[in-house]
Amino acid sequence: FVNRYDPPRRLLIVGAVQIAQSLAQLATTLGIETVVIDPRARFLTEERFPGVTLDDRWPDEAIAAYRPGPSTAVVTLSHDIKIDDPALIAALSSDAAYVGALGSRKSHAARRERLAAEGVTPEQLERIDAPVGIDIGAIGPSEIALSVAAAMIGAFHDRR
């Protein structure tokens, strides 16, 4: 019989918003190393995100430093294009298993246009799971976090 030793799973959450709080808690419960990235220090506090790594660098810089690979998921949740778009560009240039972005289909269409104008290829754009998560009709931060976690786990198991 063979023992398999996979690298630890990691989640990089961009945007210290309410959905991020629920997602960080759920990911930690699932044994996933979790990092919340947001340059807005007033949102990025230990009280809001107990037990996870907090990173106040600009997301593109932080993501590049974490070097996402096949055991890493990157999810952008800030709803701020100055934060999310550079993070997505950095994530899409990596081997991250899962790249998800919060927003409606309409906002994702506009996002795709912006990212394409920045040189993101059509193949890279197709990697973005948006609207983020599995469509379960989620209402509220906790249900959205659950749908994102399910999509991320599916990607880790090559099911997406």
What percentage of residues in the chain have a pLDDT greater than 90? 94
| Average pLDDT of every residue of the chain | 96
Measured distance CA(26)–CA(33) in Å, rounded: 11
Give whole-number Cα distances, 139 to 95, 100, 136, 146, in Å.
Answer: 31, 18, 9, 10
**Residue in the block written with tokens 């931060």:** 141
What is residue 160's predicted lDDT score, i.e. its pLDDT?
58
What is residue 3's predicted lDDT score, i.e. its pLDDT?
75
- The answer to whether 98 touches 40, Cβ cutoff 8 Å, is no
Rg (CA), the chain: 15
pLDDT at 67 over 70: yes
- The answer to whether 132 touches 14, Cβ cutoff 8 Å, is no
The helix/strand/coil state of 12 is strand
pLDDT tens for each residue of 17-37? 999 999 999 999 999 999 999
List the domains of the chain with CATH numbers. 10-156 (3.40.50.720)
Hey, which bits of 7-148 come out as E strands?
A: 10-14, 33-37, 53-55, 72-76, 98-101, 128-129
pLDDT tens for each residue of 82-115? 999 999 999 999 999 999 999 999 999 999 999 9
What is residue 99's predicted lDDT score, i.e. its pLDDT?
99
What percentage of residues in the chain have a pLDDT greater than 70? 99
Mean pLDDT over 136-144 rounds to: 95
Model pTM score: 0.95
